[in-house]
């Protein structure tokens, strides 16, 4: 019964995201909303990686570094070596996952506060590397990145060439939504699997988990690698949408926002990053009219929300669902 209900909810969500919303945008003539909603979908994917590190009891303030690395890996492979954009997506994620393993092996053995302090500088380190390395073209960045090409199998076109489409923004929106749905379905499956339950035990009591034979270091590295993969994956798509990538494309402020998305949505909920990203993204824009007071008002509202709803906006729901994985 629960599986059937989840399948119905997923189908309804897909209809809403892929049919109802595009139809509404077309009817309103607000084609610019495609880019806005695409950004929200991609930011929620990147934030999902941060949520996963929270799930193992670690604070990750360096996700912007992996988004930046993923964007550069994809851009370099496409512009310099002629790789298909679609192939660079998993390659960018795997590159970031491999980098996170090298970084995570020593620092994930440290206590949580030290891990948070190290990740805080990662985004700035990635930015400085992007400025210094010749392959990244320094401060000029990489521009004129081609739009995603067609994908054909046995002469059958599965994905059209985005450059030939009348509205590439709609194509990017559909791609981002599908990627977001697959990401969070995978996350939901992960946290409700055996390895997910073991990861949850690290958040609750690491000493107890270790005493019953749980390989704490290995689980931490696996979770951090998945987190970084999502960061690189999202960053690669962003570089393709904007057709450029610069050292300033993802900053420390972005890394903090990825973390805030998880807090706002709710650290106890798999789908919290989606709601948190939506509220943070549109909330900032709504307060734009306040000018110099925008940041002050926004900060006060965020602090108030965290005090009143420490478990995020999802905790406003009257009934619990299986989307809630911890208290």
pLDDT in tens, 249-279: 999 999 999 999 999 999 889 999 999 999 9
My answer on whether 130 and 267 are in the same domain is yes
CA distances from residue 303 to 8, 61, 286, 307 in whole angstroms, order as listed: 36, 18, 17, 6
pLDDT of residue 319: 44
Quote the mean pLDDT of the chain: 88
My answer on whether 168 and 57 are in the same domain is yes
My answer on whether 111 and 191 are in the same domain is yes
My answer on whether 24 and 170 are in the same domain is no
Least confident piece of the model among 78-87, 170-179, 212-221, 256-265? 212-221
My answer on whether 208 and 180 are in the same domain is yes
SS3 190: helix
pLDDT of residue 8: 77
Which of the four pLDDT bands, split at 50, 70 and 90, describes residue 105?
Answer: confident
- Residue 139 forms part of a structural domain: yes
Q: Which residue has the higher pLDDT, 43 or 120?
A: 43
My answer on whether 13 and 92 are in the same domain is no
Residue 298 near residue 284, CB atoms below 8 Å: yes
pLDDT of residue 145: 96
Cα–Cα nearest to 232, from 98, 121, 112, 61: 98
My answer on whether 88 and 16 are in the same domain is no
Residue 45 near residue 233, CB atoms below 8 Å: yes
My answer on whether 172 and 278 are in the same domain is yes
Structure tokens at 265: 């949505």
- Residue 119 forms part of a structural domain: yes
Residue 273 near residue 280, CB atoms below 8 Å: no
My answer on whether 3 and 60 are in the same domain is no
- pTM (2 d.p.): 0.92
pLDDT of residue 141: 96
- Residue 324 forms part of a structural domain: no
Q: Which pLDDT tens digit goes with each residue over 6-53?
A: 777 777 887 888 888 988 998 888 888 999 999 999 999 999 999 999
Residue 171 near residue 162, CB atoms below 8 Å: yes
My answer on whether 156 and 293 are in the same domain is yes
pLDDT of residue 219: 87
The CATH number given to whatever domain includes residue 51 is 1.10.3470
- Residue 326 forms part of a structural domain: no
Q: Does 293 have pLDDT greater than 70?
A: yes
Structural domain boundaries, residue 11: 1-30
What is the count of structural domains for the chain?
2
Q: Which residue has the higher pLDDT, 94 or 166?
A: 94
Radius of gyration for the alpha carbons in the chain, expressed in angstroms and rounded: 20
- Residue 327 forms part of a structural domain: no
My answer on whether 36 and 60 are in the same domain is yes
Distance CA 73, CA 166 (A): 28
Q: Which residue has the higher pLDDT, 230 or 311?
A: 230
> DSSP H helical segments within 56-84, as ranges?
63-81
Least confident piece of the model among 81-90, 117-126, 282-291, 317-326? 317-326
- Residue 239 forms part of a structural domain: yes
- Residue 321 forms part of a structural domain: no
- Residue 51 forms part of a structural domain: yes
My answer on whether 11 and 38 are in the same domain is no
């Amino acid at each position: 019964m629960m599986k059937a209900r989840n399948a119905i909810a997923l189908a309804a969500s897909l209809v809403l995201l892929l049919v109802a919303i595009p139809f509404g945008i077309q009817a309103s003539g607000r084609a610019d909303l495609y880019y806005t909603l695409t950004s929200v979908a991609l930011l929620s994917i990147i934030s999902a990686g941060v949520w996963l590190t929270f799930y193992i009891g670690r604070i990750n303030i360096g996700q912007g570094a992996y988004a930046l690395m993923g964007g550069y890996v994809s851009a370099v492979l496409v512009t310099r070596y002629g790789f298909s954009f679609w192939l660079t997506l998993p390659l960018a994620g795997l590159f970031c996952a491999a980098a996170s393993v090298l970084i995570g092996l020593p620092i994930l053995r440290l206590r949580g506060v030290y891990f948070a302090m190290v990740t805080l500088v990662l985004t700035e380190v990635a930015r400085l590397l992007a400025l210094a390395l010749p392959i990244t073209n320094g401060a000029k960045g990489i521009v004129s990145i081609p739009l995603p090409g067609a994908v054909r199998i046995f002469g059958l076109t599965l994905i059209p060439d985005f450059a030939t489409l009348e509205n590439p923004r709609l194509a990017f929106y559909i791609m981002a939504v599908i990627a977001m749905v697959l990401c969070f379905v995978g996350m939901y499956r992960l946290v409700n699997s055996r390895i997910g339950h073991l990861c949850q035990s690290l958040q609750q009591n690491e000493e107890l988990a270790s005493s019953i034979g749980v390989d704490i270091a290995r689980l931490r590295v696996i979770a951090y690698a998945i987190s970084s993969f999502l960061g690189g994956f999202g960053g690669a798509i962003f570089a393709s949408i904007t057709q450029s990538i610069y050292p300033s494309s993802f900053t420390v402020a972005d890394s903090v926002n990825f973390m805030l998305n998880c807090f706002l949505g709710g650290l106890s909920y798999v789908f919290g990053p989606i709601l948190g990203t939506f509220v943070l993204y549109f909330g900032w824009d709504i307060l734009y009219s306040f000018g110099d007071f925008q940041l002050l008002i926004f900060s006060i509202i965020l602090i108030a929300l965290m005090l009143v709803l420490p478990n995020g906006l999802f905790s406003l729901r009257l009934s619990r669902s299986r989307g809630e994985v911890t208290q």
